[in-house]
Structure formats: C-alpha cells, structure tokens
Amino acid sequence: MSNSATQPPFKVINVGGGLAGSLLANGLARHNVNFEVYERQEKNSKREGYQIRLGEDTFIGMRACLDQDQIDSISKHFGRYSNPAETRTTHKSSPVSRVILQDALREPLDTMGKIHYQKKFKDFEICPGLHRDIVEVNFDDGTSDVCDILLAADGNKSQVTHLPFPHFYGFAYSF
C-alpha cells in the first residue's frame, strides 16, 4: 500500500494576503500545491492607495509565480514616463498602484476560494500526526486549520514570527 493512500495531502497555510503573500499563493497554485491564505482584513476593506516601484527582483518573483496572462494584465497598469527620454536606464523599476497590484494578485485566489478574509492569526501548535507532524493554526474567531508548512507573510510586524519556536529545527522566513 502506498503512503499517498493513507496520509493526507501536503498542505501550506499562508498567513497574510498582502502583496508578498498573494504573489506566493499564486505561485503555489501555479505549481499545484495545496494551500490556503488567511488574511486579517475584510475583503473590501478601505485601503489607501499609493504608488510603489517594482524592481527587477520583483519581476523575477512574478515570472516564477504568475502565468504570462497574469503578468500581462498587471503590466498594463505600470506607470509610464510621458517623455521616454526621461527614463533612467540605471534604475530598472516600474511604478504601479499598490491597490491595483494587490487586487490583481488576489483575484485568482478569490476565484479559487483559497483566500479567507477577517481571519486574524492567534497562534500555532506543532502536533504529532499519524504519518508526520502537523501545524495547527488558530485564529481569533475560534476557528483553526492544519497544515504541513506555515508561511508568515503578514508583514514586518508579523504575529507568526514573533511567537517562540519551542521545537524548531529549520529556517524561518518572513515576507
């Protein structure tokens, strides 16, 4: 009997549905990885818009996580110089509205039903499982979910990475 018949499918939980979390989730979807995204804000929360600049590292990440149609859809929103002669060749970056970019990255996740709003992270616990240890992720509303990998994409004041890791043997990255 194969292990796949007896153990649950591998799953990733991504806490944070901002720019980095949504981009990463699109990459997981593109590569057929089972995942869920939990975002603390409401779906249509009032967001202030401002422009950000995307550099070459961001474009590398976008090419790894998005299909060409998604990239083309986002690219049409990049700011343009009114005078091409003003373009600085030493700074390869493009301006874009943060709100437009975030909406474009979240739209496929909404369509798939993979992003859950108003889910404020509370804590997590590593639990022994039948075939492998699992991570139980708990939210302020009393709900929880389980996964194999918990990703912290909830910003520079991450609630996930500020918790102690009592039995942690790997690497921790926060997006």
pLDDT tens-place string over residues 3-36: 445 667 899 999 999 999 999 999 999 999 999 9
pTM above 0.85, yes or no: no
Question: pLDDT digits over 75-117, tens only?
Answer: 888 876 555 555 454 457 889 988 899 999 999 999 999 999 9
**Averaged over 108-132, what is the pLDDT?**
93
Buried/exposed code over 110-144 (b: 16+ C-beta within 10 A; e: otherwise): eeeebbbbebebeebeeeeeeeeebbebebeeeee
| CB of 138 closer than 8 Å to CB of 150 | no
* Residue in 40, 15, 29, 16 with CA at minimum distance from that of residue 64: 29
Identify the pLDDT of residue 7. Answer: 63
DSSP-derived secondary structure for 93-153? EEEEEHHHHHHHHHHHHHHHT-EESS--EEEEEEE--SSS-EEEEEETTS-EEEESEEEE-
Identify the pLDDT of residue 46. Answer: 66
| CB of 148 closer than 8 Å to CB of 36 | no
Confidence label for 121 from pLDDT (cuts 50, 70 and 90):
very high
Identify the pLDDT of residue 82. Answer: 58
- 3-152: CATH architecture: 3-Layer(bba) Sandwich (3.50)
